[in-house]
Amino acid sequence: MAGSSRPSWRCRRAAARGAVLLAACAAACGGPRPVVSNIQPVPRHIVLVTIDTLRADRLGCYGNHDVATPNIDRLAREGALMSQVTSHVPLTRPSHTTILTGLYPAQHNIRDNVSPSLGADVPTLAEQFERAGFETAGFVSSVVLSSQSGLARGFRTYSQKFADEEENDARFLNTIQRRGDVATGEAVDWIKGHGTNRTFVWLHLYDPHDPYEPPEPYASRYADRPYDGEVAWSDELVGRLDRALADAGIRDDTLLVVTSDHGEGLGEHRESVHGFFVYQTTLHVPMIARGPGVRAGTRIDATTGLIDLFPTLLTAAGLPVPGEPKRPGRSLSRAWKGEETLADEPSFAESLTPLVHYGWSDLRSVRDGRWKYILAPRSELYDLSRDVQELNNLEPSEPARARAMRSGLERQLRSEAAQPRATGDPPAVSPELLEKLGALGYVSPGAPSSRGSTGADPKDKIDEYKTLNRLMREGLVALRTKNYAATADRMRTLVGKGVDSFEVHYYYARALAGQRKCPEAAGHFARALELLPAFGQAYIGLADCQVAAGNATAAAATLERGVAANPRDPQLLERTAELWRHLERPDKAIALYERELPLASSDALVRVRLAELYRDAGNPTRAIALLQEAVKLDPQDASSWNALGMVLGGTGDLPGAERAFREATGRDARDAQYAYNLGLALERLGNVGEASSWYQKALERNPGFTAARERLDAARRSR
């Protein structure tokens, strides 16, 4: 199916040579005539749309006849189409980082979806636009691109609202992405309100990424090929965006670029999704540009890459491209105007997944014109002009060409190794995010590569990879719905297959703990911690097991080990402090909470807990200071105000106590205790009349409140 719908490379190149052919195509496609109006050559607005996981060969303008993509096809007719664009890494976050920095993954150092944030010293495209006075806005649809990635830098608006992350519904995969119409709607609303200044907008649509669940009518129309349905749906969203530009009156002033971060295997080469191999299924991406400075009907058949977008968008907007760090890409903007004919340039790509997560060999590829070479234990050479599906390995029959391409690739790898790497923050992936990414297939069951490479060719491992990945995903989806038996079953199978990784032991332990099999769980938590000693959640899980088994002292020792390994993990510090408090060791609890404070600068509750300990330890001054911080951080919490009133009252500051209790009753008018406390403070201040009315309110709220009744009776007698 996929093969037959692909245009032959040679055909497309022929089409590019003749304007006549092109015009004939435009007429045959039934679209409006290309618009070559008297538009300004420099766009005021730049809109970049990345449609995640979009194979070039699924679009009509790339020769597909089975998927309706009228909007993108129209953009291609009205603008420029790059027919041979390479993604440099088939993974969402590394590839988007390349798009937004113009650097190869080895240069920006984001090699994986769970990498640390992008280094603060790496300039981003949005920063360049922002610095030039553009209003900038990004709208992303996957948790992988949340601001933790570092890609929000330079965007004044960065919309990344996903569904309620606490939701435990069975469809949780969909709660960590959002449907494209939501992000598109937000982008459209933003565009409506920002037409006057120059703008740079990035819209990321995640819909063609698995799971494939297009909305109607695409679900029915593409019932047996839902991926194509997602593509057609994404095309509709591009149409909505383009209409919004017209409605805002800025379409003729806007450079609109549509591209993708990588493609999708869809079963070719036995790869279902993406991120493992470096075949064209996942590396060949579309790129279309329409707007000022783009001659309608332009086709560029030279090999180009996503690395080219950074310099292209800046030069198209009339902005300088920063010289440092040196970028491998080139600007396509003169070619878009028809002022330059581009030559082929080698384009490199990588997949480290087999090495990093499984200890097999990594894969590297270079595309140069019609030729593509894949460096692997059994290397591959393809002539894409005849064999776009990469079925016929020509390495044995073209040894000289293979050798030449291999040495070019090795030169590139040597220069990558010699270049200074961007430094990222330390890994800051929350346990929740890790679990979500795992269920998306982003965290693999294999161990990080400390065990080194076995050198196995990924081609020989694809079935094993799929099995391991499937078990991991099924296990995590089950864990999300607390189906602990199902999770334990999958993880047990993985352990049985010899997988001895941190993730497998950790999730196995979580599932066993969920089934109250604590002794067994403890063993797997302990193994997980041997493999990754800095993972705070595993200490907490193990300690919970030990508490459940009645051994709180052992639990405290476990948590203390965790704190020693993660001295800056606020959650771990808090859990350890709580346990010591429970074990009636306020001295230890206080010390740990104090360490947590600067790491939890917006957490009111930890301040309340610590204040209670100081109050009980006879240090009301410190307690008051902490409670004042707490009510400042969370003024709506009536209980903090009440706690503050109690400590102030204890020190004899009755006016302060009265004010605090008024804040408490004002925020929670149903609580009898707060009303009673306010009454007491007023009575001590000599205001017996108002005190009585608060005792009365306390009794109305809780008719069995004996102390309130006694105070009320006494007050009445004394009058």
Residues that bind Zn ion (CB under 5 A): 52, 92, 261
> What does the chain come to in residues?
719
Nearer to Zn ion, 52 or 73 (CB): 52
Residue nearest to Zn ion (CB): 92
Say what the alpha-carbon torsion angle 34, 36, 42, 44 is, to the nearest 10 degrees: -60
How many Å apart are CA 72 and CA 49, to the nearest integer? 11
Q: Any long-range contacts for 616-619 (C-beta under 8 Å, 24+ apart)?
A: 616/586, 617/586, 617/590
> Which of 52, 368 has the CB closer to Zn ion?
52
Instruction: For Zn ion, give the closer residue by CB, 273 or 518.
Output: 273
The least CB distance from residue 162 to Zn ion, in Å, is: 16
Smallest separation (angstroms) from Zn ion to the CB of 182: 18
Nearer to Zn ion, 52 or 612 (CB): 52
Least distance between Zn ion and beta carbon 66 (Å): 22
User: How many CB atoms neighbour CB 529 within 10 A?
Assistant: 23
Smallest separation, CB 199 to Zn ion (Å): 25
* CB closer to Zn ion out of 52 and 271: 52
Q: How far is the CB of 275 from Zn ion (least distance, A)?
A: 9
Minimum distance, C-beta of residue 422 to Zn ion, in the bound complex (Å): 21
Q: Is 205 or 447 the residue whose CB approaches Zn ion more closely?
A: 205
3-state secondary structure of 423: coil
Cβ-contact 666, 650 below 8 angstroms:
no
Rounded CA gap, 319 and 628, in Å?
50
Listed in order, strand segments (DSSP E) in 69-206 are 80-86, 135-139, 157-159, 199-205
Residue 201 has phi, psi (to 5 degrees) of -120, 135
Q: Least distance in Å: CB of 108 to Zn ion?
A: 16
Instruction: Determine contact, residues 157/197, Cβ cutoff 8 Å.
Output: no
DSSP result, 34-63? P---S--SS-SEEEEEEETT--GGGSGGGT
Q: Sheet of 45-51: strands edge to edge? A: 157-159, 135-139, 199-205, 45-51, 254-259, 284-290, 80-86, 298-305
d(CA 150, CA 377): 34
Q: How far apart are CA 536 and CA 557, in angstroms?
A: 14
Q: What is the closest distance, in whole angstroms, from the C-beta atom of residue 233 to Zn ion in the complex?
A: 16
Residue closer to Zn ion by CB (options 52, 395) is: 52
Question: Closer to Zn ion at the Cβ: 205 or 468?
Answer: 205
Helix 552-565, helix 570-582: angle, nearest 10: 150
Q: Which is nearer to Zn ion, 275 or 328 (CB)?
A: 275
Q: Residue 41 CB, nearest distance to Zn ion (Å)?
A: 33
Q: What is the largest CA-CA distance in the chain?
A: 111
